[in-house]
Amino acid sequence: MGMVDITEKPVVRRLAEAAGKIILSPGTLLRIKKGQIKKGDPLLVAEIAAMNTAKQTHVLIPHCHQIPLDTVKVSFGVFDEYIEVACLVRAQARTGVEMEALVGVSAALNTVWDMVKYLEKDDKGQYPKTRITDIRVIRKEKGN
């Protein structure tokens, strides 16, 4: 088997954007908005996590090719019941960058969870309402 041989494919512009949500308690979301999270700003740290992991996708997912990325842009929407994260990745490559966008979103969402988990736990140490959901590719472009 092995990796797919992309030697003969032309190098073209590639873009992929993925998104996902983390459902959090209203109290946690309010603290995020007010800058009251013990570990710092979860959105800033999540942005860095998304950029770093998108660039390392080939290390994390065995059949992914190593792709030099031209850009990774991360955006956040903070709503009453959840945070939505979007990760846009662009490259000039022989293969698509949708896995890089998906990995970036996943890392960002997990980073937010890690930074607020002390607020989300119930009295038994469980997370009854916290959920990561709706991770998907929302846009993919190839060519000019």
Active-site residues: which are they?
114
Residue 21: helix, strand or coil by DSSP? Answer: strand
The interaxial angle of helices 98-120 and 42-55, nearest 10 deg, is 150
94 secondary structure, DSSP code: S
Residue in this structure with the two tokens 């512009």, named with its chain if needed: 13
Residues 6+ apart with CB under 8 A from 43: 32, 76, 78, 83, 112
Sign of the torsion formed by the C-alpha atoms of 93, 94, 98 and 103 = negative
Radius of gyration of the chain (CA): 17
